[in-house]
Amino acid sequence: MIEVKINGLFLTQSQASGVILKELDGDRTLPIIIGEYEAQSIALGLENITPPRPITHDLVLNLLETLEAQIERIIISDLRNNTYYAIIQLRRRSELLEIDARPSDALALAVRQGVQIFVEEDVMRKGAYSADEFQDVEERRIDPSHDRLENLRRELQEAVDKEDYERAAKLRDDIKKLESRQ
């Protein structure tokens, strides 16, 4: 198995979201098309942004914690008919469990927990690009702070329209913080 890290998110020309996995000890990259919701969840995890209420991936982690189970690692295990498969390896006490998952969900959990991500060699061989090949693939990186900024501005306008000035002031401050990071 090859250890990888999330090297970024991208949008295809047709506006589909994707994640780029890069091997740690090599130059191959593995792009995987994922859903928009999962891309946003991964982006939030990469940026260490915690929503006010738990989203689905946070809920799963809360459940695992309650059940005293920990994610040990994520494995992108197969590529069949242009569909990637993943396994979430969990440990509960001394028992190792393997849970079938979509790669996007497994990766969204991995970024929140800082667990290792692996790809089976056969999957890398079938789907990965070398550094030179990947330069030829057109992509546009998703900027999670841009989407967050857009949402905050919309919420600010709604708060002002509803004359909820206390909330508007808080949102204004959040916008300023996010803009200063860009």
Contact (Cβ atoms closer than 8 angstroms) between residue 29 and residue 8: no
Residues 37 and 119 occupy one common structural domain: yes
Who contacts 170 (Cβ-Cβ below 8 Å, separation ≥6)?
none
Would you call 126 exposed, middle or buried from its count of C-beta atoms within 10 A (0-12, 13-18, 19+)? middle
pLDDT of residue 165: 77
pLDDT in the model for residue 140:
42
The CATH number linked to 124 is 3.10.690.10
State how far the Cα of 166 lies from the Cα of 18, in Å rounded to an integer: 38
Q: Do 123 and 47 share a structural domain?
A: yes
Contact 154, 113 (CB under 8 A): no
- Mark whether 89 and 8 lie in a shared domain: yes
Query: Which tokens belong to 44?
Result: 């939030």
pLDDT at 138: 39
Contacts for 22-27 with beta carbons within 8 Å, 24 or more apart?
23/119, 23/124, 23/128, 26/2, 27/130, 27/131
Range of the domain at 120: 2-142
- How many whole angstroms separate alpha carbon 157 and alpha carbon 163? 10
58 and 7 within one domain: yes
* Residues 171 and 128 reside in one and the same domain: no
Q: Are residues 65 and 132 in the same domain?
A: yes
Number of structural domains in the chain: 2
Please check whether residues 87 and 108 belong to one and the same domain.
Answer: yes
The reply to whether 100 and 46 lie within a common domain is yes
Cα separation, 138 vs 123, whole angstroms: 22
For position 171, what pLDDT does the model report?
79
Distance CA 112, CA 147 (A): 19
pLDDT tens track, the chain, 182 positions: 999 999 999 887 777 889 999 999 998 999 999 988 899 999 999 988 888 888 999 899 999 999 999 999 999 999 999 899 999 999 999 999 999 999 999 999 999 999 999 999 999 999 988 776 655 543 444 555 556 777 778 888 887 788 877 887 887 877 777 777 65
